Amino acid sequence: MTSTTAPIVDAARDTVAIRSENLCRHYRMGETLIRAVDGVSIEVASGEFVALLGSSGSGKSSMLNLIAGLDRPTSGSVVVQDRDLAKLSREELAKYRLHVVGMVFQSFNLITSMTLAENVELPLRFAEVERDKRDILSRDALERVGLRARLHHRPSELSGGEQQRAALARALINRPKLLLADEPTGNLDSHTGTEIMNMLAEFNRELGMTVVMVTHERALAERYAQRMIFLADGKLVDDRPNSPVNARGQA
Amino acid sequence: MKIPDLTELALRNLRESLLRNSLTTVGISVGVASLVAMLSLGTGLQQLFSRRLEKSGLFDTIYVSSRREMRMGRAQERTGPNPAESRVLDESARAEIERLPNVSEAYPDIRFSTELQFNDKPHLSMVSALPQSAKSNDAFDGMQGSFFSSDSAPEVILQKSFAEELLGKTPPLGAPEPTVAELAQPLLGKELTMNYAQRESTAVPVKPPAAPENSPASEIAAASYSVISREQKLKIVGIADLDPESMRGPTRAKVFLPLKLAESLHVMQPTDLREIARGGNDQEVYSSISVRVKNPAEIKGVEDSIKKMGFTTFSILDASQSLQKVFKVLYAFLGIFGSLALAVASIGIVNTLVMAILERRREIGIMKAIGASDGDVKKLFFAEAGAMGVVGGVIGVGLGWAIGQVINFGTNIWLKSQSIPPEHFWAVPLWLVLFAIFFAFLVSLVSGLYPAGRAAKLDPVQALRYE
């Protein structure tokens, strides 16, 4: 299989950001075998804004973790930006997460003991970027999400919306090709949720980032995503294009 | 991640759980303090002993005597040439020994028992000659007056007990002894007259070939030497508090002369008779000579060279070697004892870090999700362990030093109450400071091995699922 996929990947370099083929993630929980992701084959083009939809337990988050390189497939393959993630070593996978992917989560996942500036520059520390450059980049990133004044505040001193903006700034700091969002508005009220979604749409549009967002809110997906992929019980059930109605208007 | 970043993050994380990490660090400090305290006590005691022993001149001195003097040779010495045929310890032998490498001086041991007159009253004492180098002997530390002005000056130094005798101040048993200063005041600068027997060689007669082998010694003696009674006036320049010849036991001298002066007097020595009996030449023969080496470490080689020349030697090298062995054992014992507390503290580090992993599961998951490698996470935990180790080590060294000072201070108060001069038996050398901090760092890193490995292996998906 690899001998046939490799040339295709090369040919599709400029257009295909993510390609999964018969992707499976199974794990055991006691006696039962859980098929979190069960034979999903999708292709996401560069610059696309894709929503992964499904009820809870449908496998959408597991799918996202596989694309993010946080988890490894049981079988099948997932190729992101020319990298066959199943074949990367732990070390290479960490590099991949550092440089290729930016992630935001439902619960923001900022480190509570650090200030916003420190949270945002943390990936740069892992990338061994010099301190001076780190300061400039993290300031710029926070400015971009409108948190310039909150540089030295801790996450607990901020509202949920502000925290998620900071998390966005952190996700963007290494200029990733791919932005992965796991229920990014799940903990926010509708107003701040919209604010965050507009930012995602803006990064997608202006920076040409490929965005994959996991959500269970169909309405949200319809407003922003260019494509909706539906999962149920770990299987792909629907994959359809969508015209985002609200993105441009709100931005 | 780079080292400065690691350090910064590690210190920040340590500050987050300040109480717990402080307590762990205190544990390390106490461990290091006990290690430092133990080892500095060992070092201090060793330094005290070697200082005392080196100053006594015992460790750099070889006593050389002729095999002819050996009445009852030890087994290894009996294997050498027959005592009667072995070499004579005369001036040429002395000069030869002095030319050996690493020898700083070789001087004859001149000692004799004679009568000394002070205020027209005779006193009997053992007299011994001292070279100028004896000035640094610690026996003269508390001396009143001064050392000989030159090697041939007609001067004399008295040991305290002889001074007491001269002044008739020998205290009854149990009564407080007069101080050296009290004794020195009426004695220094005064004159002492020494009566002694001078040996004068007469022309050496050719041994009659027909002389029977077992002819009486006295006949030959009479033929070779005459003994003349002489007097020598000596100025008292010093009163020594301690006993320079404490090692000599009952034959120790209480009156000391400059070496060259003593040599020029040609005092009749007990060995002379024996030499005469053997029909020695006209050169002066020494019963024994003392050889001082430049460095106590060279003593073995020098001693071997002298033995090869056909003499019997004695040094307390053996004694010093076994003493060093004792100190090594003491050291190891103190070190192990001191390390015990550090070992206990290291369990504290493991505990603290494992707790930190449980507490910071999510944080580790986040770091991995945003690109931290296993190595980054591992290094971060190592850095935290190492930082606790270094901080604990530094505090511990200070603590150990303070404990030492307190004990030293307290002991000296006690010594003073027992009228023993204060001693510094506590030493924290730089190497110990550095070693202790480094050791604490090392122990902490080892303690961090398991927690760091466990943190690095944490599955980010699992870790992030925890709320």
Q: With an 8 Å Cβ cutoff, is B21 touching chain A?
A: no
Find all residues with CB under 8 Å of A81, minimum gap 6, and list them. A17, A100, A177, A178
Name the band, by pLDDT with cuts 50, 70 and 90, for residue A169: very high
User: Measuring CA to CA, which residue among B251, B304, B308, B300 is closest to residue B60?
Assistant: B300
Max intra-chain CA distance, chain B: 118
Dihedral of alpha carbons B273, B279, B281, B286, sign? negative
Calculated CA dihedral for residues A242, A243, A247, A248, nearest 10 degrees = 160
d(CA A123, CA A106): 19
pLDDT of residue A51: 95
Name the band, by pLDDT with cuts 50, 70 and 90, for residue A103: very high
Angstrom distances, CA of residue B163 to CA of B167, B178, B385, B418: 6, 10, 66, 24
Asked if residue B410 has pLDDT above 50, the reply is yes
Assess contact for B106 and B306: CB atoms under 8 A. Answer: no
pLDDT digits (tens, 9 = 90+) for B223-243: 456 778 888 889 998 888 776
d(CA B25, CA B346): 10
| d(CA A102, nearest CA chain B) in Å | 7
| B120 and B18 in a common domain | no
Q: What is the mean pLDDT of residues A102-113?
A: 92
Assess contact for A224 and A205: CB atoms under 8 A. Answer: no
pLDDT of residue B76: 45
Q: What is the mean pLDDT of residues B425-435?
A: 85
pLDDT of residue B319: 62
Q: Which residue on chain B is closest to A68 by alpha carbon?
A: B369
Mean pLDDT taken over chain A = 88
List the structure tokens of A171. Answer: 């996700």
| d(CA A13, nearest CA chain B) in Å | 23
d(CA A5, CA B329): 70
Residues in chain B: 467
| d(CA B455, nearest CA chain A) in Å | 14
Q: With an 8 Å Cβ cutoff, is B11 touching chain A?
A: no
Extended strands (E) in B160-222? 191-201
| B253 and B164 in a common domain | yes
Query: Could you say which residues from 126 to 145 on chain A have a Cβ atom under 8 Å away from some Cβ of chain B?
Result: 126-128
Task: Give CB contacts under 8 A, 24+ apart, made by A200-206.
Answer: A200/A49, A200/A168, A200/A224, A201/A49, A201/A244, A201/A247, A201/A250, A201/A251, A202/A251, A203/A168, A203/A172, A203/A179, A204/A47, A204/A49, A204/A179, A205/A247, A205/A251
* φ, ψ at A232 (rounded to 5°): -150, 130
Asked if residue B365 has pLDDT above 60, the reply is yes
Phi-psi region of B120 (alpha: psi -120 to 50; beta: other; left: phi over 0): left
Chain A residues with CB under 8 Å of B458 CB are: none
Which of B359, B370, B376, B384 should be substituted to probe chain A, the one whose Cβ sees the most A Cβ atoms within 10 Å?
A: B370
Of A68, A99, A111, the CB nearest to B366: A111
Q: With an 8 Å Cβ cutoff, is A171 touching chain B?
A: yes
pLDDT of residue A104: 94
3-class state of residue B110 by DSSP:
coil
Which of these ranges, A25-34, A61-70, B129-138, B315-324, has the smallest mean pLDDT?
B315-324
Count of A-B CB contacts under 8 Å: 72
Assess contact for B404 and B40: CB atoms under 8 A. Answer: yes
Residue B326 has, within 13 A of its CA and on its CB side, a CA count of 10
Of B362, B363, B372, the CB nearest to A94: B372
Q: With an 8 Å Cβ cutoff, is B368 touching chain A?
A: yes
Q: What is the mean pLDDT of residues B262-286?
A: 67
Q: With an 8 Å Cβ cutoff, is B17 touching chain A?
A: no
| d(CA A122, nearest CA chain B) in Å | 8
pLDDT of residue B117: 87
CATH topology of domain A47-72+88-250: Rossmann fold (3.40.50)
Write down the domain spans for chain A.
Answer: 47-72+88-250
Mean pLDDT taken over chain B = 80
3-class state of residue B309 by DSSP:
coil
Chain B residues with CB under 8 Å of A103 CB are: 369-370
Say whether B464 and A109 touch across the interface (CB within 8 A).
yes
User: Measuring CA to CA, which residue among A47, A43, A40 is closest to residue A19?
Assistant: A43
Find all residues with CB under 8 Å of B3, minimum gap 6, and list them. none
| Domain span holding position B151 | 113-280
Residue A80 CB-density burial (10 A; 0-12 exposed, 13-18 middle, 19+ buried): buried
Q: With an 8 Å Cβ cutoff, is A113 touching chain B?
A: yes
Q: Of B315, B335, B359, which residue sits at a domain end?
A: B315
Q: With an 8 Å Cβ cutoff, is A68 touching chain B?
A: yes
Buried b (16+ CB within 10 A) or exposed e, A101-110: bbbbbbbbbb
Assess contact for A115 and A155: CB atoms under 8 A. Answer: no
Asked if residue B251 has pLDDT above 70, the reply is no
User: Measuring CA to CA, which residue among A37, A14, A42 is closest to residue A24?
Assistant: A37
Q: What is the mean pLDDT of residues A167-188?
A: 93
In the DSSP assignment, the letter for residue A104 is E
Number of neighbouring beta carbons within 10 Å of residue A35: 17
d(CA B64, CA B53): 20
Of A110, A125, A171, the CB nearest to B5: A125
| B405 and B331 in a common domain | yes
Dihedral of alpha carbons B456, B459, B463, B464, sign? positive
pLDDT of residue B254: 84
Angstrom distances, CA of residue A197 to CA of A107, A110, A190: 15, 19, 10
Say whether B464 and A105 touch across the interface (CB within 8 A).
yes
Question: What is the identity of the amino acid at A193?
Answer: G
Say whether A70 and B12 touch across the interface (CB within 8 A).
no
Chain A residues with CB under 8 Å of B461 CB are: 65, 70-71
| B243 and B391 in a common domain | no
Number of separate domains in chain B: 3
| B210 and B88 in a common domain | no
| d(CA A68, nearest CA chain B) in Å | 8
Assess contact for A209 and A174: CB atoms under 8 A. Answer: no
Strands A210-215 and A178-182: parallel
Question: What distance lies between CA B143 and its chain's CA centroid?
Answer: 21
ipTM value for the complex: 0.89
Residue B318 CB-density burial (10 A; 0-12 exposed, 13-18 middle, 19+ buried): exposed
Assess contact for A229 and A212: CB atoms under 8 A. Answer: no
Chain A residues with CB under 8 Å of B455 CB are: none
Q: With an 8 Å Cβ cutoff, is A207 touching chain B?
A: no
- Give the whole-number percent of chain B exceeding pLDDT 90: 10
| B348 and B271 in a common domain | no
Extended strands (E) in B320-435? none
Angstrom distances, CA of residue B32 to CA of A38, A69, B26, B395: 57, 44, 10, 8
pLDDT of residue B64: 86
Q: What is the mean pLDDT of residues A213-222?
A: 92
Chain B residues with CB under 8 Å of A122 CB are: 367, 370
Name the band, by pLDDT with cuts 50, 70 and 90, for residue A47: very high
Asked if residue B206 has pLDDT above 60, the reply is no
| B126 and B37 in a common domain | no
Asked if residue B340 has pLDDT above 80, the reply is yes
Chain B residues with CB under 8 Å of A56 CB are: none
Q: Of B298, B315, B332, which residue sits at a domain end?
A: B315
d(CA A178, CA A213): 11
Query: Which among A116-125, B41-50, B171-180 has the top mean pLDDT?
Result: A116-125
d(CA A194, CA A198): 6
Q: Which residue on chain B is closest to A179 by alpha carbon?
A: B370
pLDDT of residue A199: 92
